[in-house]
Structure 1
């Protein structure tokens, strides 16, 4: 008789990249010092790269946010930041060289809030992507993140004219009281007006982000937020579980629980979030949306975003900006990372003063085992799953040979769909629901140790 392995808490870690940035370390210990970008990219494929440009500014910091961003910008800081982006883009493009084709298959502006920039600054941002990096923004997907107060008509007009194909807006809740509970000062009327302006631009894909697990949120209010979002017929919806991370506003508001109460409260919160997730998932499936991952749902008739030949598991990424990551086959690298306001400001100030962007600063080398883990993670957490033949072709082994204990454990918990020896390796509906528990179980011991040793600041 098979004894089911007890599952860990369902909400542990949102795995949007692996290894996690808290496992990165300064690269000064490299044998030749900090590695030159030209050396890192010399043997890499450059015919299907993605470009991500990070804008680390927001008009307000939400209570749940632990992203690398600062609130507001003193006079001329955004101009200095764009100057630094221009220098960095020039250095990166030079490092890629001209001996082989360099094609950017997808572009994204994230943050922070890219539309914190003025319309004129957004024009310059697009110029940097096009004139410095060679991105053809009108022929490849361009995704841009925004917020209700910064989704103004003039900014959106620039994005539409420059070729934006997707706008993602963080709403989180259409209920004003829930927005306040999440320390996100906004009113529904402001949100609706912003959505109207986005639809007026006729940008092909609208994504709306919503959060479940907010204090005071019920199944009825969650459904009401979903109904309000669905009224705009968004091509995509992301449903995020609420997390309370160290140094965030919600973390600072939390009071110490009496002995024994914390575990009880966490279990109740886990149950609430799972219940709301399932309600939201079922509602969207009934409305004609397809589940792409635990978080992402796409309308069945929505235009496909992204080229069919780009795969995040294997293709490289160029990250510009002090919060962006870059991926080669051997190294993932970025700049320093922090959450606390003073630390973030210091990192941004150092970035804007940097003249030499020819070397990688902070990162983590990805060996054969880590590459296998990343490929499995990035594939398995998608509803479509992973073709084992593709994995075998890339690594010369089978995932069940490389990760037998983990995959057997997932199967025992009912997290895998179908027999292991037939079809793609896919998660069951319950496996998708537990993605934030499953993903961390595939972290390597070395990455776990590095993340545990990271000093939150």
Structure 2
């Protein structure tokens, strides 16, 4: 679940209603849970590109010596109730093979567009979805071949992160990933309490989860990440600590703690009731603090609101496995690519019927040499994105680094926004860093949306959900 997509804030399913709103929320008037920002701008701000610019032109002047490669597999064995990722349940006979055929055609076209071989190098790689391990072991071999032989990525020489579910983390699939160079395996568990898993429409047996974790450890992939969710209906501090301790028993190198969101067109979204729910906000905030403090006490360091790393874990490159920089090559119908001047992808949807149609269109595509849907990145948007995605990391943003990059300071470019954060107690007083306080980190999902530009807000609001 590490790459869950954010959406425009929407009414949510109420959680437990036994806790009163916190004073901090009453004082600021800001809900701590507006939406999850891991990439800016979100795809709901993307629009069709009438000129369909050639990829060769888009990448001609881009640095290519430290690119990131992301391969998207849009299939899952089940769709969780909270999930708004671009994915479909199952695949008719032949569809995964046809999808890999299209992925190979796209990789061939993109690699040609990048130009000379000696100028192109990939520094990181990731397989996401969906669930990449929905593919069979043989299909995972082919996926790795596409990354290596078509794109030229050295999977054994760079950090390679792969997402999986307990049911698909089988020994044969894990053996392929380990042999082909996977350095990180992210397992979406969400809860070790079976009643909570059912409440989140993620039905699974605790024994099956534990078996999957055992197979992952047996595969000796260096970094295990476990995703957990707080704010599930019926969840308590005690049951939350139970899930955390169950995860800690496996000594995962990383843990991601996600607040539950309920979005339109998802399984839980169909049950949503209108209106804000301050009690649910407070319940999630309480569970966040409980989880944060528990992990810090057990030798983990906090890298962002969601991400915690064991102090002795092997380094993995970027602190947060998110799409944060230019130079991103995304392959697959749900992937996005980033150049300095344009972010682009294919069409976006959450509803199952529309997703199936987009996948079918992708599988039949023969021309992958042009960008189809995207959002131009004006200079102001590039500054805003850099600030936003740096600020949401625990380390914050170096003022000197920002000045070297843009010729100005964050305060000069975003004074009113930063002043508002400071007034709420969300920024530290360090003049050399723009960094969130612990309370600011807790409110990351309010900080991020506050930094969206008016143009992006307008585009997101005008997006027609499908």
- Per the normalisation by structure 1, the TM-score is 0.94
Provide the residue aligned with 2:394 in structure 1: 383
1:356 and 2:367 are equivalent in the alignment:
yes
Contact persistence 1:149–1:190 (CA under 8 A):
yes
Per-residue deviation, 1:100: 5.3
> How many angstroms apart in 2 are the aligned matches of 1:251 and 1:44?
40
Per-residue deviation, 1:341: 0.8
Structure 1 residues 166 and 83: CA distance shift in structure 2, 3 A:
same
Structure 2 residue corresponding to 1:114, chosen from 121, 132, 136: 132
Contact persistence 1:5–1:412 (CA under 8 A):
no
1:133 and 2:151 are equivalent in the alignment:
yes
1:453 and 2:423 are equivalent in the alignment:
no
Per-residue deviation, 1:101: 1.2
Per-residue deviation, 1:8: 1.7
Provide the residue aligned with 2:22 in structure 1: none
1:55 and 2:73 are equivalent in the alignment:
yes
Question: CA offsets per residue over residues 292-341 of structure 1, 9 Å max, x none?
Answer: 00000000000010269x99654410000000000000000000010111
Superposition misfits of 4+ residues, deviation over 3 angstroms: 310-315
Provide the residue aligned with 1:302 in structure 2: 313
Per-residue deviation, 1:118: 0.1
> How many angstroms apart in 2 are the aligned matches of 1:234 and 1:56?
26
Instruction: Please show how residues 41-120 of structure 1 align to structure 2 within 5 Å.
Output: 41-98=59-116, 101-120=119-138
1:443 and 2:465 are equivalent in the alignment:
no
1:171 and 2:189 are equivalent in the alignment:
yes
Structure 1 residues 268 and 238: CA distance shift in structure 2, 3 A:
same
Per-residue deviation, 1:418: 2.1
Provide the residue aligned with 1:431 in structure 2: 440
SS of equivalent residue, structure 1 residue 145: strand
Structure 1 residue corresponding to 2:52, chosen from 34, 40, 57: 34
Provide the residue aligned with 1:10 in structure 2: 32
1:151 and 2:151 are equivalent in the alignment:
no
Number of aligned pairs? Answer: 440
SS of equivalent residue, structure 2 residue 257: strand
1:322 and 2:340 are equivalent in the alignment:
no
Per-residue deviation, 1:13: 1.1
Provide the residue aligned with 1:198 in structure 2: 216
Instruction: Please show how residues 270-289 of structure 1 align to structure 2 within 5 Å.
Output: 270-289=281-300
> How many angstroms apart in 1 are the aligned matches of 2:225 and 2:117?
38
Per-residue deviation, 1:99: 6.8
Contact persistence 2:325–2:338 (CA under 8 A):
no
Contact persistence 1:205–1:302 (CA under 8 A):
yes
Contact persistence 2:39–2:324 (CA under 8 A):
no
Question: CA offsets per residue over residues 259-297 of structure 1, 9 Å max, x none?
Answer: xxx44xx10000000000000000000000000000000
- Per the normalisation by structure 2, the TM-score is 0.93
SS of equivalent residue, structure 1 residue 183: coil
Provide the residue aligned with 1:21 in structure 2: 43
Per-residue deviation, 1:251: 1.0
> How many angstroms apart in 2 are the aligned matches of 1:104 and 1:58?
27
> How many angstroms apart in 2 are the aligned matches of 1:100 and 1:180?
51
Structure 2 unmatched ranges of 5 or more: 1-25
Contact persistence 1:105–1:307 (CA under 8 A):
no
SS of equivalent residue, structure 1 residue 249: coil
Contact persistence 2:84–2:350 (CA under 8 A):
yes
SS of equivalent residue, structure 2 residue 60: coil
Q: Which segment is superposed worse, 204-213 or 388-397? A: 388-397
> How many angstroms apart in 2 are the aligned matches of 1:373 and 1:303?
31
Contact persistence 2:67–2:122 (CA under 8 A):
yes
Structure 1 residues 141 and 160: CA distance shift in structure 2, 3 A:
same
Structure 1 unmatched ranges of 5 or more: none
Instruction: Please show how residues 222-371 of structure 1 align to structure 2 within 5 Å.
Output: 222-254=240-272, 256=273, 262-263=275-276, 266-306=277-317, 313-371=324-382
Contact persistence 1:7–1:413 (CA under 8 A):
no
SS of equivalent residue, structure 1 residue 417: coil
Per-residue deviation, 1:7: 4.2
Provide the residue aligned with 1:411 in structure 2: 422
